[in-house]
Amino acid sequence: MPNIILIGINHKTAPVALREKLSFSIEETLAALETLKQHPGIKEILIFSTCNRTEILYVASRSGTVDTLITFLSGSKQISPSEFVPALYILRKEEAIHHLFRVAASLDSMMVGEPQILGQIKLAYRTAVKAGTSKVLLNRMMHKSFSVAKKVRKETGIGDNAVSISYAAIELANKIFSDLSTKTVMLLGAGEMAELAVEHLISHNVGQIRVSNRTFENAVALAERFNGRALGFEERVDALTEVDIIISSTGATDYVITADQVKKAMKKRKYRTLFFIDIAVPRDIDPKINQLSNVYVYDIDDLKTVVASNIQQREQETVKAERFVSEAVIKFRQWLDSLAIVPTIKALNEKMTGIVEMECDKTLSHLSHLAEPDKDAIRRMTQAIATRAIHDPIMFLKHTGGHRDDSLYLNVARQLFNLDMLENQ
């Protein structure tokens, strides 16, 4: 098997302060790849860096490359090796492949099943392609990781059910109203939680969005970003008569909506359902509101219970996902093994022999007047022609030259003669 190596740190081995120091922007990644591809011991290389991990995946042609990369990281990030090496993991060959497939399938994420990681890995791959550092092995390996990630997401429930407070809140609203496209949502607060909630609301095709905040200009800014309408904070109570869902995440220390205010509003709205999601700590919404008819209040503890249940369901799905990953690793290893010279020559000989025997038998079946010795002579001749025909390609594969990439020529040969399809039949 080729010397595939993966080194890196992630949220399990290093605190965020260290991960920050070793992170790469897209521009830094490109510059690093341009430098590292000049190293004679590195045949292919790819870097992926997110908030939770920085990993370098590469194919080495000689020993000592791990020390080279540690020195490179230390120099480019201005950090002593003693500071990050203890947190570094070094995986080789099948372990490296297995790790990559698990990362792409979101099985190694801080939140199992989160969808962002696959997009981040695809971006890292495109960057390596742009730098010309991803070739036969990494190309195949990365595409295999994409396909196994897609299978895991499609055939398991690993991505089902919300596992963030803001997303859980929107899913809850969607379940209660069935169709959010006809509903109006008012956000109380314009901070990060509100912003996340708006993004989830838009993905659920919510009808209209109102944003109310103590600092009006922040409400205007958030509303403009998402094609909503800003309200003054003092307008929030009057708005209760026209909105259907209120998501509150202010920094207030007292309730910003009281039971008396909602009681009056319900009469004006003829007791149409009103749904509050309170994700603020301390709470924004008076819990007594829950006692009013046709009014529902869910606070952050209610949502945490939903999220915890969903996380447990996702973890149950990881068993099936891990099996898909293991199967993909086995198939990829088989492909790697096939790139060795002996299996390729053997497969090429078998294919040519099979073709010659089939065509020869077909022809001889129409030449019944020939004696058996004559038929044997024709068989020997056709077999000799086939052997001579593939002699030069085989000699080339055996002696591609020390400076060339053997895996490239073997892969091309297997594709030209369709050998992988033959073996998969």
Per residue in 303-358, pLDDT tens? 777 777 777 777 788 888 999 999 999 999 888 877 777 778 888 888 888 898 89
Give pLDDT, residue 225.
85
- What tokens appear for 168 in the block? 């859980």
- In the predicted model, is pLDDT for residue 250 greater than 80? yes
| pLDDT for residue 408 | 76
Share of the chain above pLDDT 90, in %: 48
Assigned token pair, 121: 């890995």
Beta-bridge partner residues of 230 = 211
DSSP-assigned beta bridge partners for residue 54: 9, 49
CB 198 within 8 A of CB 209: yes
pLDDT at 65: 92
| Sheet bearing 53-60, strands edge to edge | 42-49, 53-60, 3-10, 89-92
User: Phi and psi for 8 in degrees, rounded to 5?
Assistant: 180, 180
pLDDT single digits (tens) 134-185: 988 899 999 999 999 999 988 987 776 656 677 777 777 777 787 888 899 9
| HEC sequence for 116-150 | HHHHHHHHHHHHHHHHCCCCHHHHHHHHHHHHHHH
pLDDT at position 405: 66
Write out the two tokens for 97.
Answer: 């492949």
pLDDT (average), residues 94-105: 96
Which has the closest alpha carbon to 183: 242, 249, 268, 270? Answer: 242
Please compute the mean of the pLDDT values over residues 185-193 and round it to a whole number.
85
Kindly list the strands in the beta sheet with 245-248, ordered across the sheet, starting from the edge strand earlier in the chain. 229-232, 208-213, 184-188, 245-248, 274-278, 295-299
Greater pLDDT, 337 or 80:
80
**Which helix (H) or strand (E) is 247 found in, with range?**
strand 245-248
Question: How far is it, in rounded angstroms, from Cα 26 to Cα 181?
Answer: 38
Instruction: Please give the pLDDT value at position 161.
Output: 64
Question: Which two tokens mark 13?
Answer: 């081995």
401 — pLDDT class (breaks 50, 70, 90) = low
Q: Which of 2-6, 173-177, 417-421 has the lowest mean pLDDT?
A: 417-421
Pairing between β-strand 295-299 and β-strand 274-278 as defined by DSSP bridges: parallel
pLDDT band at 425 (very low <50, low <70, confident <90, very high): very low
pTM here?
A: 0.62
Q: How far is residue 36's CA from residue 188's CA, in Å, rounded to a whole number?
A: 50
Strands 295-299 and 208-213: unpaired
Q: Are 411 and 339 in contact (CB under 8 A)?
A: yes
Through-space distance between the first and last CA atoms of the chain, rounded to whole angstroms: 23
Question: Is the per-residue pLDDT at 361 higher than 80?
Answer: yes
Whether residue 424 has pLDDT greater than 60? no
Place of tokens 């209760």: 240
Sort residue 173 into left (φ over 0), alpha (ψ -120 to 50) or beta.
Answer: alpha
d(CA 165, CA 260): 27
What residues are labeled active site? Answer: 51
CA distances to 58, 219, 350, 359, 386 from 354, rounded to whole Å, are 38, 74, 6, 9, 10
Rounded-to-integer distance, Cα 265 and Cα 47, Å: 56
- Residue 377 tokens, joined: 């002579």
> Within 10 A of 251 (CB to CB), how many other CB atoms are there?
11
CB 22 within 8 A of CB 84: yes
Prior bond of 282 cis (ω within 30°)? yes
Q: What is the pLDDT of residue 249?
A: 87
